[in-house]
């Protein structure tokens, strides 16, 4: 079974070299998979329309001859929700939304992304399967809000105990469970250990 084409969507300020997205990109590539990890414009001061255009270009360039999988982290989740709501959205096979910020998060730099559209029909139109993974103790989105997001979108929901924002600060450099999900659609996801 060949690995899918993997598109990794970073969040506000990007994903550094020790982040699980960077680790996943290296690991999938080492195993012969195709990876696209774009660096969106001005990650410290993101603009929704600019990022949507860049995302569209990367989706259009994705190969059509293998499964296409998207993994979005943090603000990248909201970017994906905005993409899904557009009539010109590109369809993929599977999507993993990891640690989105609350839809009313007060950070001024991300205000053009908020609130994200919570349209379950759009989510189904752009992907056969979408799943949400959040970390217990995430400072950017408390558990009750994360649960409301999953319910509004009508998607499966995994909680990783003590994983906070599921980033480098929370110890998420290597995350073997997410590689297993990419390779075999294994669910639910589990913590990094």
Judged against a pLDDT cut of 80, whether residue 192 lies above it is answered with no
For the entire predicted model, the pTM comes to 0.96
* Tens digit of each residue's pLDDT (9 = 90 or more) over 110-151: 999 999 999 999 999 999 999 999 999 999 999 999 999 999
Query: Taking the domain 5-184, which CATH number applies?
Result: 3.40.50.1820
Structural domain boundaries in the chain: 5-184
Strand partners for 97: 72, 132
How big is the CA angle at 166 (ends 161 and 169), to the nearest 5 degrees? 110
């Amino acid at each position: 079974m060949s690995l899918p084409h993997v598109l990794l969507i970073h969040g506000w300020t990007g994903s550094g070299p020790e982040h699980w997205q960077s680790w996943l990109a290296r690991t999938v590539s080492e195993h012969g998979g195709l990876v696209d990890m774009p660096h969106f414009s001005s990650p410290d001061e993101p603009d929704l329309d600019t990022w949507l255009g860049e995302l569209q270009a990367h989706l259009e360039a994705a190969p059509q001859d293998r499964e296409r999988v998207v993994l979005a982290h943090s603000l990248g989740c909201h970017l994906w929700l905005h993409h899904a709501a557009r009539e010109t959205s590109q369809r993929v096979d599977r999507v993993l939304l990891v640690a989105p910020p609350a839809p009313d998060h007060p950070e001024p730099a991300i205000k053009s992304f908020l609130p994200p559209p919570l349209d379950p029909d759009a989510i189904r139109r752009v992907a056969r399967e979408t799943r949400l993974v959040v970390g217990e103790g995430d400072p950017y989105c408390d558990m009750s809000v994360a649960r409301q997001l999953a319910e509004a979108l009508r998607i499966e929901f995994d909680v990783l105990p003590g994983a906070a924002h599921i980033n480098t600060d929370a110890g998420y450099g290597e995350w073997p469970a997410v590689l297993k999900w990419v390779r075999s659609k294994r669910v639910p996801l589990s913590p990094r250990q």
